[in-house]
Amino acid sequence: MFTLQTKHTIFGAHKLKDQGGKCTKLHGHQYTIVLTLKAKELDYRNMIMDTYDIEEVFNDFIGVDHLYLNDFMDDENPTMEAMSVFFYEGLKDKLPNLVSVAVGETPECLCIYTPDEE
């Protein structure tokens, strides 16, 4: 089994309705998004997928790198957990080997979403 991870950085702002602390006010983060793809076999180029193609798919999905996440996700509580699911659902059709998405708000904090296998 081959595993490929690509790391992407975006800048975004959000506010969390139900957090109850300082995060209920508008604030921003430099987010790290890690996409994990897996494959049993490599393609004709000896790759799971070309990383330039992954970057293009990711950038097309994001549109811009400064996001107001509450609007972008249409969510009152765009937490790391909600973001990881949102990114997975938004990218899975264009990245068929995608198995998980991790979202980090800080270097110390990361949430990984891996859907249940059916």
Domain ranges of the chain: 2-113
Handedness of CA 58, 62, 64, 70 (dihedral sign): negative
Which pLDDT tens digits describe the chain residue by residue (118 residues)? Answer: 999 999 999 999 999 997 888 889 999 999 999 999 999 999 999 999 999 999 999 999 998 778 999 999 999 999 999 999 999 999 999 999 999 999 999 999 999 999 986 5
Burial class (CB in 10 A: 0-12, 13-18, 19+), 18: exposed
Distance CA 33, CA 102 (A): 6
Q: Under 8 Å CB-to-CB from 61, ≥6 apart: which residues?
A: 87, 90, 91, 94
pLDDT at position 109 is 94
Q: Tell me the fold of 2-113.
A: Tetrahydropterin Synthase; Chain A (3.30.479)
pLDDT at position 118 is 57
